[in-house]
Amino acid sequence: MNGLNNSVVIGGQALPELAEMLGQAAVSQVFVVVDTNTARHCYPLLEPYLPKHKLVEIPVGEQYKTLATCELVWNELTESSADRFAVVVNLGGGVVTDLGGFCAATYKRGIRFVQVPTTLLAQVDASVGGKTGVDFLGFKNQIGVFQEPAAVFIDPQFLATLDARQLKSGYAEVVKHWLIADAQAFATQRQEGVLVQDWAPIIRSSVATKQQIVEADPLESGLRKMLNFGHTVGHALESYLLLQSGREILHGEAVAAGMVCETWLSAQRGLLSASEQESIETFLFSVFEKVQFVTLETDAIAQFALQDKKNSGSTINCTLLDGIGRAVYDQPVTVAEIAESLRYYHRL
């Protein structure tokens, strides 16, 4: 990686270590990708640690996670004559880290990038694991590549820039990690909910869970599919409501709803006890507000699951729970079952 080591740095030392990395002679130019929000609220915290650089600002929001926005970034890199020793610093949430990483991974067949995630969702999930990409034709992350960042620098101080809704959205991915791999954490840490004084230990634990799974299966051919619990239904909801209907929904809100639906599917298969199902549902609804849609939309939402990247041909492969803390992947489900899970969610 031309002198940059793949690593995750969490805590108050993250930005000083980023400064040290970018000061290396192997770095020819530095480009910082931000969105409208992170330019205002987060860039001032990062700027003192940066060498000479060029700021590349993109519009804020999932609706701009497109190839058209990528062209804005590629144009900036091209007009600045960025070479293969340039480094892209992605400062933002999941949209910025996904899109900025994809732009770097494809420019001149790949230049280095580092992630500086500013939302809880990006700190525990989106920035770690080497998935990059953009939405296409109304489908989530339809175009993308696997490319690990040179490093990830996670400073919890950025979480102070978030409102409660954004914080809860990221918390959904923390809960997902508990449900698929850490029953003890679910049993104990859920008592605290999102009223957390120090996020660093939770971030470290969540990142460690994801890293362990990703290292065992970097290209998502098997075990890594565990991380998609809640996402088969969640992505279908997100695609339908946000990308097709223009209704506001955050990724974590869709995933939380998806976890309720896929918990129900797990219980229907006899993988999860009624008491486990109830404890998961009770906790999720204590944190997340119910996603609003009408019963007549359930079939249309379910159809979006046919585009899920984990599918094999026309078979929808879902990740379900075989008890709290244990996930099983490649579980075939039908469009009708997904629609029924959404109707179940709607009735709760």
pLDDT tens-digit map of 74-121:
999 999 999 999 999 999 999 999 999 999 999 999 999 999 999 999
What's the pLDDT tens digit per position in 167-181? 999 999 999 999 999
Q: What is the CATH number of domain 164-347?
A: 1.20.1090.10
Mean pLDDT of 240-264: 94
CA separation for the pair 123, 10 (Å, rounded): 9
Q: What is the mean pLDDT of residues 321-339?
A: 96
How many angstroms from the chain centroid is the CA of residue 323? 24
Is pLDDT of 138 > 90?
Answer: no
- Predicted confidence band at 244 (pLDDT cuts at 50, 70, 90)? confident
pLDDT band at 44 (very low <50, low <70, confident <90, very high): very high
Map residue 198 onto helix, strand or coil: coil
For residue 286, what pLDDT is reported?
A: 95
| Helix spans in the chain (H) | 14-22, 36-41, 43-46, 67-79, 94-106, 120-121, 164-181, 183-189, 200-216, 231-238, 251-268, 274-287, 298-303, 335-347
The pLDDT-based confidence of 243 (bands split at 50, 70, 90) is confident
Mean pLDDT on 304-327: 88
Q: Give the pLDDT band (50/70/90) at residue 6.
A: low
Residues 227-244 have a mean pLDDT of 93
The pLDDT, as a whole number, for residue 1 is 33
- pLDDT exceeds cutoff 50 at 4: no
- Reduce the DSSP state of residue 127 to 3 states and report it: coil
Give CA–CA dist 320/332, Å, rounded. 10
CATH 3.40.50.1970 fits 8-161, yes or no: yes
pLDDT at res. 5: 46
Q: What is the pLDDT of residue 127?
A: 86
C-alpha–C-alpha distance, residues 151 and 8, integer Å: 6
pLDDT, tens digit (0-9, with 9 covering 90-100), for 152-169:
999 999 999 999 999 999
The pLDDT value recorded for residue 318 is 96
- What average pLDDT does the structure give for the chain? 94
Domain ranges of the chain: 8-161, 164-347
Residue pointed to by tokens 């997902």: 176
